[in-house]
Amino acid sequence: MTSEKWKASEKLIALFQAVGKASLLYDIQDSHSGNMALRWKDENGYEKIVITATGSQKGDLEPDQICFLSPSETDFGYYKASSETDIHARILALKGIDVSASMHCHTKDLVISTLDDEEKPNKPAPFVPIDPLGYTYLKGSLPVDWFEVPCGSPEMVNTIPKRLAHHPVTVIQGHGAFSRGRSLQEAFFLACVANNSGYIVRLVSRLGLDIKELRDKIQHDPDSFFSYPPGEYTIESDECCDFPDEEEIVREFLKTGARIFESRLSPFHTGSISVRGVKTMLYTPKASMPRELGGPLLEISLSPEKPDSPELRIHKEIYKRSNFQTIIHCYIPEAEAISHFTYPGESEPCNRVVPVDSEGSFFYLVIPVIPPTYDLEEFIRLLHDYKVVIVRGGGVWGVGAQSLSEVLHHPSSVREICLYRIGAFERGLDLRKMEPEKAKRW
């Protein structure tokens, strides 16, 4: 192997290992499940399919468990590769769309939310997300198919690539999902978003809400349910760092991003983090970053600029109207679910979350919940008063006066507070009785 090819292969192997570890950590694979594939050109310009070997542990991939195959000829390595190589090869050969990578994951929450007990064979209903990330990135719905042999069968080879020609993710009932992307990171991103959407549907069901009614309302008028569409996923510049000499702050960004991902505060490469400077802000638009899969670290003017995304504009408006030094925005699934919660006997979703656990009550008497279309002045006033705000259909915003560690505490606490409330309701407990009396006057 030439030096150039070895370096390219080494980089590819590191990427596969990083995505494999992250998928295991995010719990969309078990120890040996799933597979990943990528189109790649060698030093002679010949295209290869790079794919994980059958039975390999995605969280502990060895270099010899990553196969380099010809896309048009069967060779020895083909038999070592995943049993679903034929499916991946057809996905990677799709025309008319930019596809360079594909993944098959055991997206457990998505699978559970798409199960049915109908007599087989049948055509399962499409999966409709109810959260802003899923509704935006999954294009409103995902196809779901039942297969008699749901692992590498000819029926799957024929069906799954056709589904992915029109959808970013497709679901195999009772098995998992396939995703495709312009990069392996994007395929992983879409799998994470899809599973997160399935998890939110499950949480909302546990809160006793009518999922069908909520889906119908969202599909009829999505703009009234979501704050703003999340920005388009980018595949360039993930390794960019505009402030490499600021080693301490770089470490803080990476540490915070890893904690957001590992603590399930936001799916892979979603949310945002910023730190205020004098005339600029340090910013990442991909807050949820596993330790070996970073995102861009940018230095951006604090002044408004025409290309600013809605997300970036909010960061700038908060700094313009406050003395806060740090901001984190996350899409916490438990907070999105609880924002739809309606107390028994009431007709409107709650406008605040009251902790029922001791630590949550110590730090936060209440946490405000505001609608997707909110008044900016009111939003920033609430951040001044509470330091953290849940936006229904828009994620969780937290602010700090000093470090990223300080502000990270807010979304981390919000997730636990929401989990305790969901668990208490699931047990049939009366949340009103459990809420501190002083919270009712707040």
Give the pLDDT confidence of 9-22 residue by residue, as tens digits. 788 899 999 999 99
Residue 227 near residue 394 (C-beta atoms within 8 A): yes
Instruction: From residue 292, give the alpha-carbon distance in Å to each of 18, 40, 65.
Output: 6, 21, 19
For residue 300, the surrounding DSSP H or E stretch is strand 298-301
**In the predicted model, is pLDDT for residue 75 greater than 90?**
no
Q: Dig out the tokens for 251 from the structure.
A: 């470490």
Of 61-75, 316-330, 381-395, 416-430, which range is least confident?
Answer: 61-75
What average pLDDT does this structure show over 407-416?
Answer: 98
Beta-sheet pairing, 47-52 with 35-41: antiparallel
Instruction: From residue 285, give the alpha-carbon distance in Å to each of 288, 310, 328, 372.
Output: 9, 11, 10, 20
167-203 confidence digits (pLDDT tens): 999 999 999 999 999 999 999 999 999 999 999 999 9
Report which of 336, 353, 338 is spatially closest to residue 442, judged by C-alpha positions. Answer: 353
- Residue 12: CB atoms within 10 Å: 18
- Residue 313: CB atoms within 10 Å: 14
Residue 329 near residue 274 (C-beta atoms within 8 A): no
Determine the distance from the C-alpha atom of residue 3 to the mean position of all C-alpha atoms in its chain, rounded to a whole number: 37
Nearest-10 crossing angle of helices 376-386, 310-320: 60
Alpha-carbon distance 27 to 220, whole Å?
Answer: 33
What average pLDDT does this structure show over 79-87?
Answer: 75
261-296 confidence digits (pLDDT tens): 999 999 999 999 999 999 999 999 999 999 999 999
Q: What is the pLDDT of residue 113?
A: 98
Alpha-carbon distance 298 to 282, whole Å?
Answer: 6
Alpha-carbon distance 286 to 6, whole Å?
Answer: 30
What average pLDDT does this structure show over 342-349?
Answer: 92
What average pLDDT does this structure show over 232-251?
Answer: 96
Q: Report whether the peptide linkage leading into residue 349 is cis, meaning its omega lies within 30 degrees of zero.
A: no
What average pLDDT does this structure show over 367-396?
Answer: 97
How would residue 36 be classed by pLDDT, with cut points 50, 70 and 90?
very high
Q: What is the pLDDT of residue 8?
A: 52
**CB contact set of 66 (below 8 Å; sequence gap of 6+):** 12, 13, 16, 50, 51, 52, 53
**In the predicted model, is pLDDT for residue 77 greater than 60?**
no
Residue 411 near residue 398 (C-beta atoms within 8 A): yes
**In the predicted model, is pLDDT for residue 83 greater than 80?**
no
Report which of 334, 339, 132, 139 is spatially closest to residue 230, judged by C-alpha positions. Answer: 132
Q: Which residues pair with 39 in a beta bridge?
A: 49
Determine the distance from the C-alpha atom of residue 94 to the mean position of all C-alpha atoms in its chain, rounded to a whole number: 25
Q: Which residues of 223-260 are buried (b: 16+ CB within 10 A; e: fewer)?
A: eebbbbebeebbeeebeebebeebeebbebbbebbbbb
Nearest-10 crossing angle of helices 247-262, 3-25: 50
Domains along the chain with CATH numbers: 3-224 (3.40.225.10), 247-441 (3.40.225.10)
Alpha-carbon distance 16 to 59, whole Å?
Answer: 9
Q: Dig out the tokens for 404 from the structure.
A: 């990223």
Q: What is the pLDDT of residue 7?
A: 46
Q: What is the pLDDT of residue 81?
A: 66
Q: What is the pLDDT of residue 275?
A: 98
141-173 confidence digits (pLDDT tens): 999 999 999 888 899 999 999 999 999 999 999
* Residue 71 or 366, more confident: 366
Q: What is the pLDDT of residue 80?
A: 63
Question: Mean pLDDT in the chain?
Answer: 93
- Residue 187: CB atoms within 10 Å: 28
